[in-house]
């Protein structure tokens, strides 16, 4: 780019001044609404935690059953100081991310094969419906026998919970690709692979992002279910163990940690989605 093609500061000021007062007022109103929503969410969370603490202290709630935020915080601090928090948290997060990644990649591959071979897509469609309707916790004993009582069975449970939804969502998006675009490429002699790479897959990016957002939640569900059944580490194990010894503070602490890390991973995926769509101009 030559120096004559580079935008000057004056060009930026002219572009900014081109925005109408009505549009600027609209943007300010949007920012105020977003700030109001965020502030209301924070206030609501603080109010719920305060009501929980006050109810447990005053006897409105049974602290033996629901514990209380101050004890939950003390329990989390104790586990963090002793080092066991990082062991259990790291185990759950690593299993979830592994199951999430494997389910996403496997779902994308299977959906692509089903688009490539429509005959086999029709053959496997009822099987996918049946698999999606089966409660995945019923597969736990099968994974235990096949893989043993180890982390592999937990990851397999996470994959089983998330993969079918990914296949269905992506295959549906592949099939709904604009047929006019496909016919246009084929009229120019494009191969099936070129049609898939240039039209079908890029057109399914919104569906892929939606599947990723669904998958991260399902992977957490599958990991916790697996840790309920077979694991000796992880937040799911702490929840089951705390319930067995009637230590509800440990149970509630594990649930609070699970809520925190699952929210963090979802926010990370949402940030990546907004960044991707902004780059694509969507």
Q: Are residues 26 and 84 in the same domain?
A: no
Q: Which long-range contacts (CB under 8 A, 24 or more apart) does 190-195 make?
A: 192/116
Whichever domain contains 217, its CATH number is: 1.10.3720.10
Q: Are residues 19 and 149 in the same domain?
A: no
Q: Which of 22, 41, 61 is the last residue of a domain?
A: 61
Tell me the average confidence (pLDDT) per consecutive run of 10 residues in the chain, 282 residues long: 48 52 81 87 91 88 86 91 89 92 92 90 86 80 82 89 89 86 83 85 85 87 88 87 89 92 86 76 57
pLDDT in tens, 247-257: 889 999 999 99
| Cβ atoms 216, 265 nearer than 8 A | yes
pLDDT number for residue 281: 58
pLDDT in tens, 109-130: 999 999 899 888 888 888 888 8
Continuous H helices in the chain: 9-17, 21-58, 63-66, 69-82, 84-116, 118-133, 140-147, 151-175, 179-187, 192-195, 201-203, 205-229, 235-244, 248-280
**CA 91 to chain CA centroid, nearest Å:** 18
Q: Are residues 44 and 14 in the same domain?
A: yes
Q: Are residues 273 and 220 in the same domain?
A: yes
Alpha carbon distance 80, 105 (integer Å): 34
Q: Are residues 107 and 56 in the same domain?
A: no
pLDDT number for residue 11: 47
Q: Which domain holds residue 252?
A: 65-280
Residues 6+ apart with CB under 8 A from 140: 153, 157, 225, 226, 229, 230
Residues 6+ apart with CB under 8 A from 121: 114, 115, 171
The structural domain count of the chain equals 2
Would you put residue 34 in left (φ > 0), alpha (ψ -120 to 50) or beta? alpha
pLDDT number for residue 8: 52
Alpha carbon distance 78, 163 (integer Å): 37
What are the φ/ψ torsions at residue 135 (nearest 5 degrees)?
Answer: -60, 120
| Cβ atoms 210, 145 nearer than 8 A | no
Q: Residue 109 corresponds to which tokens in the numbers above?
A: 């591959």
Instruction: Please choose, from the candidates 216, 207, 239, the residue with its C-alpha nearest in 3D space to the C-alpha of residue 108.
Output: 207
Residue 3 maps to a domain: no
pLDDT number for residue 131: 83
């Amino acid at each position: 780019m030559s120096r004559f093609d580079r935008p000057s500061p004056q060009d930026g000021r002219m572009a900014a001044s081109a925005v109408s007062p009505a549009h600027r007022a609209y943007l300010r109103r949007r920012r105020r609404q977003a700030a109001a929503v965020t502030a209301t969410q924070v206030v609501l969370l603080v109010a719920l935690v305060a009501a929980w603490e006050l109810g447990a202290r005053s006897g409105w709630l049974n602290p033996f059953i629901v514990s209380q935020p101050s004890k939950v915080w003390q329990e989390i601090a104790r586990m963090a100081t002793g080092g066991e928090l990082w062991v259990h948290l790291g185990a759950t997060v690593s299993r979830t991310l592994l199951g999430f990644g494997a389910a996403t990649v496997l779902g994308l591959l299977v959906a692509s094969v089903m688009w490539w071979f429509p005959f086999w897509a029709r053959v496997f469609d009822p099987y996918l419906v049946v698999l999606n309707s089966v409660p995945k916790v019923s597969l736990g004993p099968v994974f235990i026998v096949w893989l043993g009582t180890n982390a592999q069975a937990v990851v397999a449970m996470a994959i089983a919970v998330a993969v079918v939804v990914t296949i269905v969502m992506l295959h549906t998006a592949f099939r709904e690709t604009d047929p006019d675009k496909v016919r246009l490429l084929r009229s120019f002699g494009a191969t099936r692979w070129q049609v898939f790479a240039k039209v079908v897959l890029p057109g399914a990016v919104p569906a892929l992002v939606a599947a990723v957002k669904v998958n991260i939640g399902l992977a957490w569900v599958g990991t916790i279910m697996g840790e309920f059944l077979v694991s000796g580490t992880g937040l799911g194990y702490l929840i089951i163990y705390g319930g067995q010894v009637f230590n509800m503070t440990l149970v509630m602490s594990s649930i609070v940690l699970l809520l925190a890390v699952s929210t963090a991973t979802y926010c990370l995926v949402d940030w990546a989605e907004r960044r991707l769509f902004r780059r694509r101009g969507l």
